[in-house]
Structure 1
Amino acid sequence: MSHPNPRNILVIGGGDGGVLREVVKHDCVEKADLCDIDEAVPRLSKKYLPHMAQGLENRKVTVVIGDGLEFVKKEASKNHYDLIITDSSDPEGPARKLFEKEYFEDCYNALREGGVITTQGESFWENLNFIAGVKRACKEVFPIVEWAWSSTPTYPSGTIGYFVATKDPLRDVRRPVRSFSREEERKYFKYYNQDIHSASFVLPTEAREVIEAA
């Protein structure tokens, strides 16, 4: 909802299919590529999490098993994607590189003008200084970078954060630039709505002071 007309989507990680399930609900999406490093994730998700994995079976979707870092760097066409979603594991080991400036530069180059990225961004309850550091790295590449959070009961802290950045220096990603009617929101979403979109960027005082200063 932070992009006016997202047609080509790339998901890095997210092999369980959950992100794809939500992406293909939008009629404007024409093609969605997913690159996950572990073939077992989509295979087992189809077996044990069919409601989530249904996104993997959509006709708009192409699944690639491989290193997402290398996919973005070498295989993603320049100015090809409207939106890149990084649904990664925590920033430890090899996944750490998905939170560094070089990765954001590769994403920037793979995006069309006005393109948007969103990437997993930890919880402010657990790693506030890390969030600030990643935001600074992302701001060296993208003109607009914001951090939002949502309720996620399956995480130990009960919340998870995510960065949203755009190549458009005039766009306020904290406000939806597209919207569904209230009836459509009830039909398609259990959590998201226009008000939640904006409220996700409202931070507790301590987190706001650290993150907004980054």
Structure 2
Amino acid sequence: MTELTHPNINDGWFRESTTLWPGQAMSLKVEKILHVAKSLFQDVLVFKSTDYGNVLVLDGVIQATERDEFAYQEMIAHLPLNAHPDPKKVLVIGGGDGGVLREVVKHSTIESVTLVEIDEMVPQVSKQYLPAMAAGFTHPKVNVHIGDGFAYLKEHTGSYDVIITDSSDPVGPAESLFGETFYDLMRRSLRPGGIICTQGECQWLHLELISTVLTNSRKIYPVVEYAYSAVPTYPCGQIGYILCCNEAGRDLKKPVRKFDEEFEKTQLRYYNAQVHEAAFVLPGFAKRKLEA
């Protein structure tokens, strides 16, 4: 069998390649390359690292590692879900690794959650190489639709209590998911009092982009907030979340529902009620820019 190779892996190290964070690159030591392929939409790589477990990479950029994925998955799911008083129907756009699904179904109020993923190869490789994340696919409340998020939203007006967009960075197939048109489509697909939560990039690298998205969102939603958390293998060790609600006067910064203490200890590794509130406390440079 021919040994797998990949242009981002040299001398036993993986190195990210992207123009989105110039002058810096995350590197991980590689134990074994597990999967290399070109899907219809992007380059897909999975490798086993020496210290972060199996790693999913799309178009040269780390999407998830077994060691730290929970920090992102828990926050992007539980921030909007616990800010909603009674979420029943949830839509996840992207998130083909299954991690967000795994977190959403931890909420007893959920009646159904639909995942819309454009690239069917992502769920396939995640089920094979990232089974702890992909466990969400087997839950009876989960429905999976392979297709375009834009088209799906147009056909499901007023259908969801919470919409979570777990996208990669704004290049390639995910670029349109950061535009004003997409945010308006999500608003149309919400029920009254509905909340959206989207991947919100890094304030150290993408403050202008974040500011633009927030400015555009405030034209569409009466309540718009920005939160962030720490994830070691994302650029600068940080990732943001943009939350919007279609009902004026709502406070997304405080959970209106809380997990009990035993659940937090046994079922969660990053999120808790205190972290929920702290996630919206921004450093001075970001606060001045994003609240201007």
Deviation at 1:168, TM superposition (A): 1.4
In the alignment, the residues of structure 2 paired with residue 15 and residue 93 of structure 1 have an alpha-carbon distance, to the nearest angstrom, of 16
TM-score by length of 2: 0.71
1:86 alignment partner, SS class: strand
Q: Does residue 145 of the first structure (1) align with residue 213 of the second (2)?
A: no
Which deviates further from its counterpart, 173-182 or 15-24?
Answer: 173-182
Confirm or deny: 8 A CA contact 1:135 1:145 kept in the other structure.
yes
In the alignment, the residues of structure 2 paired with residue 36 and residue 94 of structure 1 have an alpha-carbon distance, to the nearest angstrom, of 11
**Misfit runs of 4+, over 2 Å:** none
List runs of 5+ in structure 2 lacking aligned partners. 1-81
1:4 alignment partner, SS class: coil
1:156 is matched with which residue? 235
Deviation at 1:92, TM superposition (A): 1.6
1:28 is matched by which residue type in structure 2? T
Out of 195, 210, 214, the position equivalent to 2:289 is 210
In the alignment, the residues of structure 2 paired with residue 211 and residue 181 of structure 1 have an alpha-carbon distance, to the nearest angstrom, of 33
1:187 is matched with which residue? 266
In the alignment, the residues of structure 2 paired with residue 156 and residue 174 of structure 1 have an alpha-carbon distance, to the nearest angstrom, of 24
In the alignment, the residues of structure 1 paired with residue 267 and residue 248 of structure 2 have an alpha-carbon distance, to the nearest angstrom, of 30
TM-score by length of 1: 0.96
Q: Does residue 84 of the first structure (1) align with residue 163 of the second (2)?
A: yes
RMSD: 0.8
**Paired residue total:** 211
Q: Does residue 40 of the first structure (1) align with residue 98 of the second (2)?
A: no
2:112 is matched with which residue? 31
Out of 169, 184, 196, the position equivalent to 2:248 is 169
Deviation at 1:114, TM superposition (A): 0.2
Q: Does residue 20 of the first structure (1) align with residue 97 of the second (2)?
A: no
1:13-51 Cα deviation digits (max 9, x unpaired): 000000000000001001000000111111111111110
Out of 197, 201, 206, the position equivalent to 1:122 is 201
Deviation at 1:70, TM superposition (A): 1.5
1:60-111 Cα deviation digits (max 9, x unpaired): 00001111121112x22x2110000000010123422111111111111100
1:172-214 Cα deviation digits (max 9, x unpaired): 001101111212211221000000000000011001100111x
List runs of 5+ in structure 1 lacking aligned partners. none
Confirm or deny: 8 A CA contact 2:202 2:235 kept in the other structure.
no
In the alignment, the residues of structure 1 paired with residue 134 and residue 173 of structure 2 have an alpha-carbon distance, to the nearest angstrom, of 25
1:179 alignment partner, SS class: coil
2:193 alignment partner, SS class: strand
Higher helix share: 1
2:274 alignment partner, SS class: helix
Out of 170, 190, 196, the position equivalent to 1:111 is 190
Out of 145, 162, 165, the position equivalent to 1:64 is 145
In the alignment, the residues of structure 2 paired with residue 92 and residue 169 of structure 1 have an alpha-carbon distance, to the nearest angstrom, of 32
In the alignment, the residues of structure 1 paired with residue 187 and residue 274 of structure 2 have an alpha-carbon distance, to the nearest angstrom, of 28
2:244 is matched by which residue type in structure 1? A
Which deviates further from its counterpart, 100-109 or 113-122?
Answer: 100-109
